[in-house]
Chain A
Amino acid sequence: MPSNEDDEMLVAAAGRGDERAFNRLVQRHAPRLHAVVRRHVGSSDDADEIVQDAFWRAWRASPRWQPGGARFSTWLYRVAVNRAIDHLRAARRRQEVTVDEMPEAPAASAGGDTAADNRQILGLMRQAIDQLPERQRLAVLLSTGEEKSNAEIALIMESSEGAVEQLLVRARRRLRKTYRDLQ
């Protein structure tokens, strides 16, 4: 897990025009941010755009970055998550997506092929994440990788820590049931 101090040093260097420092921030944060946004909005192309915009805003804001405030990653995720939420709202206005339209879960494998079974379990767990209500999905996606505390997730989601805890309880309970059913 990258330390906050490292990020702050890199942002400060980026603010002085150091492109290599900024590229290190990209390498450090872009993959997981992309994964979270992609799972949340359901499209890799849209996630590309949202993540690129978030980093562009970070680059432009870096000369004005105030050390000692919010963590850089919290700020970055908040920017991207807000864009992702707006994106979903706009998509919903264009086309109402209902649970009935979601793809059927693939049938369980007959067994014997461990790699195929693992892929299938991952696919079913992804589908279970996709089918969570939006805010539960976002909370659980932000909690993966154990990098963010519930307090940070609350900052990113512009919510209270208690509300995030309740979202996580409901989401994890549902995902645990899916996981148990797969055993």
Chain B
Amino acid sequence: MTLEDFDEGLLKWGADLAKWPDELRPHAEDLLAQSEAARSMRQEMTDLATILDTAVMSDVPVGAVSAKVQQSIAERRERQGLLDLLPLKKIFGWGSLAGIGGGAIAAFAPVSAGVSAMLSIALGGTLP
């Protein structure tokens, strides 16, 4: 393996040789054992990976992000729970409910059948 091949491998698979393809790893290890330049290239890629990870993660408010997600899920569960209490859903399912809603609109409201169909689709599409 040449230094150019090794550099290409570092760019593709990173500095951790465990992530390199099995057939190339022994050649990379041999080169590292022999070449100071290869060791230096690998160290630079390790440093780059560290600084990129720090750049991406260092300004993330870890606790706040998790708390927001947990709160959002709790609120959605609560809404979902309330919707599940509606008896029509249990009896007919949402598709039927949407159809009934659209049918009722078509029967009793001064709207066209096309609008009624669209409302049925919209109801069916937004309700979980």
Contact A122 B54 (CB under 8 A): yes
The verdict on A30 contacting B49 (CB below 8 Å), with A141-B56, A150-B19 known, is no
Cβ-Cβ contact count across A and B, 8 Å cutoff: 101
Of B66-74, B88-96, B109-117, the one touching chain A:
B66-74
Of A55-63, A66-74, A95-103, the one touching chain B:
A55-63
Contact A30 B65 (CB under 8 A): yes
Contact B53 A144 (CB under 8 A): yes
B57 at interface by CB-CB < 8 Å: yes
B37 at interface by CB-CB < 8 Å: no
Contact A30 B69 (CB under 8 A): yes
Contact A179 B66 (CB under 8 A): no
Contact B65 A122 (CB under 8 A): no
A140 at interface by CB-CB < 8 Å: yes
A-side contacts of B69, CB under 8 Å: 26, 30, 51-52, 55
Cβ < 8 Å to B, chain A residues 137-162: 140-141, 143-146, 149-150
Contact A129 B11 (CB under 8 A): no
Contact B66 A36 (CB under 8 A): no
B99 at interface by CB-CB < 8 Å: no
Contact B128 A32 (CB under 8 A): no
Contact A59 B73 (CB under 8 A): yes
Of A3-11, A84-92, A167-175, the one touching chain B:
A167-175
**How far, in Å, is A136 (CB) from chain B's closest CB?**
12
A78 at interface by CB-CB < 8 Å: no
Contact A145 B68 (CB under 8 A): no
B48 at interface by CB-CB < 8 Å: yes
Which A residue sits closest to B62, measured CB to CB? A31
The verdict on A129 contacting B16 (CB below 8 Å), with A26-B73, A30-B69, A169-B8 known, is no
Contact B52 A129 (CB under 8 A): yes
SS class, residues of chain B in contact with chain A: helix
Contact B13 A56 (CB under 8 A): no
A-side contacts of B65, CB under 8 Å: 30-31, 34, 48, 51
| Chain B positions near chain A (C-beta within 8 angstroms) | 8, 10-14, 16, 19, 44-45, 47-49, 51-58, 60, 62, 65-66, 68-70, 72-74, 76-77, 128
SS class, residues of chain A in contact with chain B: helix
**How far, in Å, is A137 (CB) from chain B's closest CB?**
11
A46 at interface by CB-CB < 8 Å: no
Would you list the 9 A-B pairs with minimal beta carbon distance, nearest first?
A52-B72, A125-B55, A169-B11, A31-B62, A165-B12, A35-B60, A34-B65, A144-B53, A172-B11
Contact of A145 among B8, B47, B57 (CB under 8 A): B57
> Besides A141-B56, A172-B10, 7 other CB < 8 A contacts?
A31-B57, A48-B68, A55-B73, A56-B76, A122-B54, A150-B13, A168-B12
**How far, in Å, is B55 (CB) from chain A's closest CB?**
4
**How far, in Å, is A25 (CB) from chain B's closest CB?**
10
